[in-house]
Amino acid sequence: MTHDLRTRLQQPGILHAPGVYDALTALIAEQAGFEALYLSGASLAYTSLGRSDVGLTTYGEVRDTVARITERVALPLIVDADTGFGNAINVQRTVRGFERAGAAMVQLEDQTFPKRCGHLSGKAVIPVAEMCGKLHAALDARLEARTLILARTDALAVEGFDAALERAERYLACGVDALFIEALRTPQQMDAACARFAARVPLLANMVEGGHTPVEPVAQLQARGFRIAIFPGGAARAMAHAMTGYYASLRTHGSTAPWQDRMLDFDGLNDLLGTPELLALGTRYEAV
């Protein structure tokens, strides 16, 4: 990691972080000109397991993905750590491992385990005191001050909006660096959350296509007071939509010809990946 996310969040302008799920999506997002990336736990489950976001991914799978992404791109990476994969001691291992792998910010949520996508029904949350203990453990575990801790609450769907705000207040008092109130239902709730917290701490807006929160452009989210905007599952949904059409066409036509105007060819993909530069680097050492 070559960027200091803490410094960036102190500067004007909302931080727009698209969701990625592997090194290739991270590389493409970096080339598109984004300032930061968001490793979506849901998208990782979708793409690596072919499963829903119901707590099936493990600490090691996420850590290894973080390492592969940060080895390939220089942008700061916000990492969805779910519940920390266990209790406070597990949280400490998670934070240390993700930090060593290159995470710039580690997101922890207050769901019970196994967790589920924040926009699915049937969630449950742990007691506030237990979550505060996990957040203190996370803050104590980090080795560098520039590694940020993001506290997420899923209490709105379980305990109501006011309770979610009170949980966020308690989590902020623990000393976290940013807040994420999941699945805000209306523009009025979005504005109320910003009115309470935006002047004190970066507040994250989660844009999920078809989810509970109204999907708005980043300029509008910035006007409301949000400091971070993520579109965590958009890439996975776009990929799934494209691949559904691609495989159906290949099965029907027995050829990729009908899709070639929607594909990179061999040279195009190698240009995106930087293959010519990589091969040139290899020749540099051949004569040593």
Give me the residue spans of the domains in the chain: 5-239, 255-288
| Dist CA 22 CA 277 (whole Å) | 21
> Exposed, middle or buried, 11 (CB in 10 Å: 0-12/13-18/19+)?
exposed
pLDDT per residue over 11-23, tens digit each? 999 999 999 999 9
pLDDT score recorded for residue 14: 98
Q: Check whether 31 has a pLDDT greater than 60.
A: yes
Residue 240 dihedral angles phi and psi, to the nearest 5° = -65, -40
0.85 exceeded by the pTM? Answer: yes
Superfamily, domain 5-239 = Phosphoenolpyruvate-binding domains (3.20.20.60)
Beta strands 148-153 and 178-181 are: parallel
Instruction: Give the pLDDT band of residue 1 (cuts 50, 70, 90).
Output: very low
Contacts of 201 (CB under 8 A, 6+ apart): 172, 176, 177, 178, 179
Tally helices (H) and strands (E) across the chain. Answer: 13, 8
pLDDT per residue over 159-187, tens digit each? 999 999 999 999 999 999 999 999 999 99
3-state SS, residue 184: coil
From residue 4, give the alpha-carbon distance in Å to each of 8, 74, 77, 103, 238. 7, 11, 10, 11, 30
For 130-144, letters b (16+ CB in 10 Å) and e give: ebbbbbbbbbebbee
